[in-house]
């Protein structure tokens, strides 16, 4: 549509004027905001943009490969994938306190990103020597960062804090989505050629599966959780609610599986099992500050639980979380 094309043209001109012929670095997470920012900046300045994708090993099934396929292979962005999963898992080993886990993940994330950014800033090639740090900050982030609301949220769960990063790196800050609301960011993403399925994805927390594996994070737990979660999401996407014609994925705001490191007894064939439990979580919300648990159809829950127990050896029990926020939070940690 014409209005959107004008918007894109205007934003592109603004970025070109601001940046000139200098290099830009952007931390790509695969989330909506950083993805749309990357696509927009690339439209403006092409390969003056370098994206750094820190893979902390706590992503969903095939997610790291999908990010690379989309941005590097299909959209031809210059993306550096930093596989830091060993580092993250090593530092998380033996740690079970949720706040401590969040702090470790946040700190390592910043450290790994800074190390990559420092290499790019020092790089001799004039095209890649970066002078700018781009961030996918959107308007609600701008308002919230001063508000009492976010301070309270932060006191309950410490989120990634990338504030101060541009100063520490000696870079100027580029925030091309600063004036946009989430739905505008999504429209922009689609207009820039990102697939709707990507642009309308549920949010995923920065610490990833690190806060969806209760207690200690172990590689084998992450593996079981990834497979269970993928089955849940696949069934939500493929199950259509007849009245609205929408999928249950579209009818929920966020949905995922949580790994519970407890074992329970079950029976499979004529053998006894003693395996782990997953909880399914699906919520509906407009602002994520409050949320209702989603009344998913029993038939859907039945299919998901049947598939997880049959297909993911090591899990023999599936539960559904019927807690709203407040008093429960959306994530379990």
Q: How far is the CB of 6 from ligand XMP (least distance, A)?
A: 31
Q: What three-state secondary structure class fits 197?
A: helix
Query: Which residues is 24 bridged to in the sheet?
Result: 49, 132
Nearer to ligand XMP, 132 or 256 (CB): 256
Q: Is 54 in the site for ligand XMP (CB under 6 A)?
A: no
Nearest to 88 by CA among 256, 226, 219: 219
Task: List the one residue from 157, 182, 201, 307 that touches ligand XMP (CB under 6 A).
Answer: 157
Rounded Cα–Cα distance for residues 318 and 102 (Å): 26
Q: Is 205 in the site for ligand XMP (CB under 6 A)?
A: yes
Q: Is 27 in the site for ligand XMP (CB under 6 A)?
A: no
Q: How far is the CB of 278 from ligand XMP (least distance, A)?
A: 17
Rounded Cα–Cα distance for residues 74 and 271 (Å): 48
Q: Cα separations (Å) of 83 from 55, 154, 203, 284, 307? A: 5, 28, 22, 33, 31
Nearer to ligand XMP, 114 or 325 (CB): 325
320, exposed or middle or buried, with CB in 10 Å at 0-12, 13-18, 19+?
A: middle
**Residues 273 to 292: which contact ligand XMP by CB under 6 A?**
288
DSSP H or E stretch at residue 235? helix 219-238
Annotated binding site for ATP: 29-35
Rounded Cα–Cα distance for residues 140 and 32 (Å): 14
Rounded Cα–Cα distance for residues 150 and 156 (Å): 10
Annotated binding site: 29-35
Task: List the one residue from 56, 207, 222, 255 that touches ligand XMP (CB under 6 A).
Answer: 207
Count of CB atoms situated within 10 Å of the CB of 68 = 18
Q: How far is the CB of 64 from ligand XMP (least distance, A)?
A: 17
Q: How far is the CB of 211 from ligand XMP (least distance, A)?
A: 6
Nearer to ligand XMP, 170 or 203 (CB): 203
With contacts defined by CB under 6 A, name the span among 5-13, 54-62, 157-165, 242-250 that binds ligand XMP: 157-165
Q: How far is the CB of 98 from ligand XMP (least distance, A)?
A: 10
Q: What three-state secondary structure class fits 72?
A: helix
Q: How far is the CB of 160 from ligand XMP (least distance, A)?
A: 5
Rounded Cα–Cα distance for residues 181 and 187 (Å): 10
Q: Is 189 in the site for ligand XMP (CB under 6 A)?
A: no
Rounded Cα–Cα distance for residues 264 and 72 (Å): 43
Q: Is 172 in the site for ligand XMP (CB under 6 A)?
A: no
Q: How far is the CB of 205 from ligand XMP (least distance, A)?
A: 3
With contacts defined by CB under 6 A, name the span among 43-51, 171-179, 199-207, 314-322 that binds ligand XMP: 199-207
Rounded Cα–Cα distance for residues 148 and 143 (Å): 10
With contacts defined by CB under 6 A, name the span among 18-26, 127-135, 179-187, 204-212 that binds ligand XMP: 204-212
Q: Name residues whose C-beta falls within 8 Å of residue 261's C-beta, 6 or more positions apart in sequence.
A: 213, 214, 215, 216, 221, 276
Q: Is 330 in the site for ligand XMP (CB under 6 A)?
A: yes
Task: List the one residue from 252, 254, 305, 316 that touches ligand XMP (CB under 6 A).
Answer: 254
How many residues interact with ligand XMP (rule CB under 6 A)? 13
Residues that bind ligand XMP (CB under 6 A): 157, 159-160, 203, 205-207, 254, 288, 325, 329-331
């Amino acid at each position: 549509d014409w209005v959107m094309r004008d918007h894109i043209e205007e934003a592109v001109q603004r970025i070109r004027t601001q940046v000139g012929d200098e290099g830009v670095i952007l931390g790509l997470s695969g989330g909506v905001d950083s993805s749309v920012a990357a696509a927009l900046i690339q439209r403006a300045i092409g390969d003056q943009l370098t994206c750094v994708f820190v893979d902390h090993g706590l992503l969903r099934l095939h997610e790291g490969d999908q990010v690379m396929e989309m941005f590097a292979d299909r959209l031809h962005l210059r993306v550096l994938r930093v596989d830091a999963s060993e580092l993250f898992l090593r530092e998380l080993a033996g740690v079970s306190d949720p706040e401590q886990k969040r702090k470790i993940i946040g700190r390592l994330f910043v450290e790994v990103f800074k190390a990559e950014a420092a290499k790019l800033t020092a790089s001799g090639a004039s095209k890649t020597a970066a002078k700018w740090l781009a961030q996918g900050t959107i308007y609600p982030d701008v308002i919230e960062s001063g508000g009492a609301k976010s301070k309270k949220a932060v006191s309950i769960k410490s989120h990634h804090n990338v504030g101060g990063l541009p100063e520490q790196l000696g870079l100027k800050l580029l925030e091309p989505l600063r004036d946009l609301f989430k739905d505008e960011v999504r429209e922009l993403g689609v207009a820039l050629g990102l697939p709707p399925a990507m642009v309308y994805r549920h949010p995923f927390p920065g610490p990833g599966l690190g806060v969806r594996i209760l207690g200690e994070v172990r590689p084998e737990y992450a593996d079981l959780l990834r497979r269970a979660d993928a089955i849940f999401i696949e069934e939500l996407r493929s199950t259509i609610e007849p009245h609205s014609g929408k999928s249950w994925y579209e009818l929920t705001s966020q949905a995922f599986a949580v790994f519970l490191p407890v074992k329970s007894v079950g029976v499979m064939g004529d053998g006894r099992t003693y395996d782990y439990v997953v909880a399914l979580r699906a919520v509906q919300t407009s602002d994520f500050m409050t949320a209702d648990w989603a009344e998913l159809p029993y038939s859907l829950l039945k299919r998901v639980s049947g598939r997880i127990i049959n297909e993911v050896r090591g899990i023999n029990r599936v539960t559904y979380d019927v807690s709203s926020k407040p008093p429960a939070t959306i994530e379990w940690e």
